Amino acid sequence: MDELQAPIALSVDASRPHALVLRVGGEVDISTAGAIRREWAEMISARRPEHDLAVIDLSGVVFFGSSGLAALVDCRQAADEHVLRFRVVVAAPTVMRPFIGTGLIDCFDWYQTLEAAVAEESSEKPLPPIPAT
C-alpha cells in the first residue's frame, strides 16, 4: 500500500539575522492556500525586531493554481503591513505562468535562488524566468 503524501509542505526558517523564510513545497491550490496564509501570518507575527525581510520560497512547488495567486497577494499585503520587504523565490516555469497570465508578474520581486533573495543588499530588480509557450 502506498503512503498518502501531503499535498503541501511548509517550513519556516528564522535563522537568518534579518530575514524570515517560508518554504513551500508540493501543490498550491484551493485546498492548501489557506495553510500558506496561516503559516505566513504566524511567521511574521512572531518575527524579531531585526527581521526586515520576508521571503516565500516556492522552489519546491510542483503545481500552482489560481488560489495560490490570491494567497501570495495576501502574504505581500501582510508583509507591507508589518513593514517588511517581500521577495519570492521561484524555479519552475509552471509556477510563473499564472502570474504572467494575470499580469501579477510586476507585483513581486522575483529571485531564482533563496541565496539571492535573502542577500541583505539587492539593488537589482531580477527578471523572472519566462516560460516557453
Identify the structural domains of the chain with CATH numbers, from first to last: 8-116 (3.30.750.24)
Residue 128 has pLDDT above 90, yes or no: no
The angle at the Cα of 61, spanning 55 to 63, to the nearest 5 degrees, equals 130
Instruction: Tell me the average pLDDT across 83-101.
Output: 92
pLDDT band for position 109 (50/70/90)?
Answer: very high
Instruction: Tell me the average pLDDT across 38-67.
Output: 95
Q: 67-88 pLDDT, tens per residue?
A: 999 999 999 999 999 999 999 9
Task: With beta carbons less than 8 A apart as the criterion, state whether 12 and 39 touch.
Answer: yes
Residue 44 has pLDDT above 70, yes or no: yes
Specify the pLDDT at position 94: 87
Global pTM reads 0.86
> Among residues of the chain, what percentage have pLDDT more than 90?
79
Residue 133 has pLDDT above 60, yes or no: no
Closest CA to 60 of 129, 11, 121: 11
